Amino acid sequence: NGLVERFNGRVQREVLGITIYSHRDLETLLKGFNQAYNRRRQRVLKGRSPDEVVRSRLAAEPKLANRRYKPPDADALPPALQVIAHAKEVSHPDNLTDQPDAAVIP
């Protein structure tokens, strides 16, 4: 499926290049990424976000709703941003100035 492949490619480019501390941090990061992705307007959706498209489809056809569906945490993005901030510190140890061989770039 082209949509799934495009989404997986975006996850690979934007998320998997980050070195993180734990599996829990990865889950937090993916939840935040998923929330951000679903809120981002998409050209292929005529400038609407995936969330907007789903809400309008469900309003038009309520029978499409999955009763077992658990909506994502509305506050998933701030913890994901914290994971990213920490990951940058962990991923770039050469930026630490207390290491004898570290190059300091102003």
Q: For the residues of 30-77, what is the DSSP string, one character each?
A: HHHHHHHHHHS-BGGGTTB-HHHHHHHHHHH-GGG--TT--PPPTT-H
The count of domains in the chain is: 1
Query: Percentage of the chain with pLDDT > 90?
Result: 21
Domain annotation covers residue 26: yes
What pLDDT band is residue 10 in, cutting at 50, 70 and 90? confident
- Between CA 89 and CA 19 the distance in angstroms is 10
* pLDDT mean over 32-50: 90
Could you say which DSSP state residue 97 is in?
T
41 lies in which domain range?
A: 2-90
Residue 98 in domain: no
More confident residue, 56 or 105: 56
Position 52 pLDDT exceeds 90: yes
- Tell me: pLDDT of 106 over 70: no
Whether residue 48 is predicted with pLDDT greater than 70 in this model: the reply is yes
Residue 97 belongs to some domain of the structure: no
